[in-house]
A and B are shown apart, each in its own frame.
Chain A
């Protein structure tokens, strides 16, 4: 193709990653020009199998973005189609082309809507610029996955990551996992919402929340996008409290919107805010965590714990999880699939607890059928709150598969 007629006014942009260590990603160098049509070059480790498919997709994406004249150099490391599209789109946008337009991958059928009270023992963090982690995440069976746009994404990569996360929400089968997105701290997080809410995430985590107004602002934007896109399924909110002020305002934050499904805590930032060291025992955050649990329960939402940072220390994780459950938390986050099972075990009621609860539930049901107001087990009378707790425990144990 002739190069004598182009590029005097070229605008260029790059996105993605390539190299020997990179897997399931690609790098796109995009250069807009005034004439000369499309010139696409491809280097790919899967070229013999998908070279033609990648080139076809590139043309389709560029057409969707309204690009007619450009030079596009693709270095592919075995990326799946939703990543290929995301990186081309990001590179074009960085060149100032295709703004306001988007290419969307094939829609994977959406799972059913997520219940506010659903099981949230484990939620697996997936960095928003690492596509290699997404496709198999659900095989490790966490209760939720979090596509993260905040701390795991470099500030220069936020724009590309939100496109990738949008495509991922649309195209990747996360099985039975709740599909969560952690946006950036507001106001940057509002740009994240604009890109991802249209793909019906089940829950949005808002970091560094300190005041209820922040939740209201995000909630309003989510509602607007939902109604614009005709989305009726819920998009829940989980504020992350990561400062002394956030903890002080926990109750009003939990009650800020009926879409708040849970409160959680970020201990790295919280301990930094207090100016204390974060320890394995977590004594320094005892108060904050207890206050958060109390505020969450007062608002009728779940309390979810932080992450346990040492992926090599499974005993420490188990102890943390058990203590966490004893405090009233209903789950925690994980940064490695290996942590999921340990967390699930830690949050599973013991066989003795389940047995006792089942007896209480049976006694309650018997009293119901007999029309008795008082529930008794053997010679003991059971108080209504104990019955309520037993009902909830049996319900949870069923959801966890601990009883059939």
Chain B
């Protein structure tokens, strides 16, 4: 990065850059305040005459495919994280680009994982200029130490779709890892030795990128059924030995937390939904695959059985625990954005009620509605939350990048957004005066559930009324904060952060919500 970065204060008072990687930015204006205009981006018009008559788009290797796609300096190359930490395709593509000798690529993954730390070497060598996408572990440290040449841009899953759709990010070449595909490019994620479930994260890239390459380790005869990616959007198909390490793609079994304190939090969340009357026939909820969220599902399931309540749909991240709800008739559908364990993958492959969804259907804010805002309740985590319910999910309190945003921001639009968190971790209070990095505005966050009590956003007088008279430990958030600070031996010191932006956090509408500062 060079030169001084001009900053502006957005609607929540956060200082944000007005230019990011050479593009002008709109500071966050408030929830629902930004009005998009114009038309969506579009890929070039292609003609069938330029593609093989027999539909066979296979190319010997990825390097040749990239050359044929016209890879050159400064292009945007994208990958997707449906193979999670087991993915081999992203580095395969980036290393092929390095061999071709191009420089200054923008790598645009839907999320990056620790196993992709090889990207650091490619940044050092100048192959990659910068990353726009979630960065954690070694990549996050590289970014927050200010070593990346460009600025990181953190987007939610819906925000990534929105950015591609709106033309904020133009993908030159998308490289899609496919657990099953045919030579035409139809691709599916729920079958094959590297099966991962949904390929939804690659949908936007497959429809808006200039060029699309499908990489598979399970080529089947045309047609590949079902197809989650349409071969009609695909330029080339590359067959490889292995697209990923199955052990790291999905876990064999997902583990419920065994910590009594976390189990208590999970049970309080479920009890809250019951007491508030949200858990009723035909309701819907979403919970992730973290230890608390999984335990929450088990407690809620018990309560649903006791009260004879059935859900209309649940949204995944699916795991065996959601699959059991489906199989036991406690929900009509699973609408699944990504699949975390083998039971989830099998269920999606075999049960038509377990439906693969995408960031377009679930999360995209610049569309005619999305599923996330139809969900009655969502249970999420956070690294910090302040007394005004603003929350941080991307950085640790010391300013280091820790997590991507994932679908977190998009889920805040549910009917009741619940953050389930321990009130302190390793002596570090979770409820703070001001979050290090604002990822979710407090007006969107309704309930904080900790082991020491439940804090309801004062804006939600309806929820406060609904649980009045229950035995739940409902307390003002300030109360919990004071108690925890006493336990921890006073307020924590605030780590000193640098004054140089190294990444920005986008809101779901593409405006800039906050800045991640270089860690000194």
Whether B428 contacts A46 by the Cβ 8 Å rule is: yes
Q: Determine if A118 is an interface residue (Cβ-Cβ < 8 Å).
A: no
Given A48-B398, A53-B490; A80-B427 close (CB under 8 Å): yes
Interface centre among B427, B487, B490, by most A CB within 10 Å? B427
Q: Determine if B32 is an interface residue (Cβ-Cβ < 8 Å).
A: no
Q: A45 contacts which chain B residues (CB < 8 A)?
A: 426
Whether B493 contacts A48 by the Cβ 8 Å rule is: yes
Q: How distant is the Cα of A136 from the Cα of B425 in the complex, in angstroms? A: 12
Closest A-chain residue to B488, C-beta based?
A: A80
Given A45-B426, A46-B426, A50-B427; A81-B489 close (CB under 8 Å): yes
Closest A-chain residue to B396, C-beta based?
A: A48
- In the complex, what's the smallest C-beta–C-beta distance from B402 to chain A, in angstroms? 14
Whether B264 contacts A50 by the Cβ 8 Å rule is: no
Whether A23 contacts B426 by the Cβ 8 Å rule is: yes
Q: 1/0 contact trace for B424-453 toward A, CB 8 Å?
A: 011110000000000000000000000110
Given contacts A50-B488, A81-B489, A140-B264, 9 further A-B contacts (CB under 8 A): A24-B426, A49-B427, A49-B492, A78-B425, A78-B428, A80-B487, A139-B261, A140-B260, A336-B260
Q: B451 contacts which chain A residues (CB < 8 A)?
A: 136, 139
Q: Determine if A337 is an interface residue (Cβ-Cβ < 8 Å).
A: yes
Chain B residues 459 to 490 lying within 8 A of chain A, measured CB to CB, are: 487-490
Whether B260 contacts A53 by the Cβ 8 Å rule is: no
Q: A46 contacts which chain B residues (CB < 8 A)?
A: 426-428, 492
Closest A-chain residue to B495, C-beta based?
A: A48
> Please, could you name 30 A-B residue pairs with CB atoms under 8 Å apart, sorted by A?
A23-B426, A24-B426, A46-B426, A46-B492, A48-B397, A48-B398, A48-B493, A48-B495, A49-B397, A49-B427, A49-B495, A50-B488, A53-B489, A53-B490, A53-B493, A77-B426, A78-B427, A79-B427, A80-B487, A80-B488, A80-B489, A81-B489, A135-B487, A136-B261, A139-B261, A139-B451, A139-B452, A140-B260, A336-B260, A338-B263
Q: Determine if A41 is an interface residue (Cβ-Cβ < 8 Å).
A: no
Q: B398 contacts which chain A residues (CB < 8 A)?
A: 48
Q: A80 contacts which chain B residues (CB < 8 A)?
A: 427, 487-489
Q: B493 contacts which chain A residues (CB < 8 A)?
A: 48-53
Q: How distant is the Cα of A24 from the Cα of B424 in the complex, in angstroms? A: 11
Q: B397 contacts which chain A residues (CB < 8 A)?
A: 48-49
Closest B-chain residue to A108, C-beta based?
A: B486
Report the interface size class on chain B: 10 to 19
Q: 1/0 contact trace for A109-140 toward B, CB 8 Å?
A: 00000000000000000000000000110011
Given A50-B492, A139-B452; A78-B426 close (CB under 8 Å): yes
Q: 1/0 contact trace for A213-251 toward B, CB 8 Å?
A: 000000000000000000000000000000000000000
Q: A336 contacts which chain B residues (CB < 8 A)?
A: 260
Q: How distant is the Cα of A77 from the Cα of B426 in the complex, in angstroms? A: 7
- In the complex, what's the smallest C-beta–C-beta distance from B397 to chain A, in angstroms? 7
Q: 1/0 contact trace for B31-67 toward A, CB 8 Å?
A: 0000000000000000000000000000000000000
Whether A50 contacts B260 by the Cβ 8 Å rule is: no
- In the complex, what's the smallest C-beta–C-beta distance from B428 to chain A, in angstroms? 6
Closest A-chain residue to B427, C-beta based?
A: A78
Q: A79 contacts which chain B residues (CB < 8 A)?
A: 427
Q: A77 contacts which chain B residues (CB < 8 A)?
A: 426
